[in-house]
Amino acid sequence: MLKGLPHPFEEKRAFSEELDSKPVRDILGSFFYQELHPLNVDDQAAIRSALADPRTFLPGPVTMKLCGGFHADFAVEFQHDGEVGAALICFGCSEIKTLFQRDRWHHNLRPQALFVLKLVLRQASGDFPV
């Protein structure tokens, strides 16, 4: 798991300072701190269950939301059949972007899946408020 930098519009100053002073990674145009946060077995299972369930993904996004646009709070890297992929999750607009084998998807998240992902990722990263 990777933690996203502060929001580039809502927290412009903090975003700029972090981008200039910390090692970061760019995944699909979203910036993350380079430090990996390994997930325990239970957290991996909860995330895998949410992301493997087709009911997690709703059509969309159709229009720009009033939240300021997609900003990935977290990225989860995963492997499947020897290939590495990533899921970028935005809690503000309840969206997910995924990249796997050069395919990209962008969907809205079902509220139940968003709750599970928030709970697991925030607790695993030390950001406790859900």
What is the reported pTM? 0.88
* Inter-CA distances, 54 with 10, 41, 74, 83, 113, Å: 32, 22, 20, 20, 11
10: left (phi over 0), alpha (psi -120 to 50) or beta: alpha
Residue 129 has pLDDT above 60, yes or no: no
Q: Where are the domains of the chain?
A: 2-125
Instruction: Give residue-wise pLDDT tens across range 31-90.
Output: 999 998 889 999 999 999 999 899 999 887 766 666 667 899 999 998 878 888 899 999
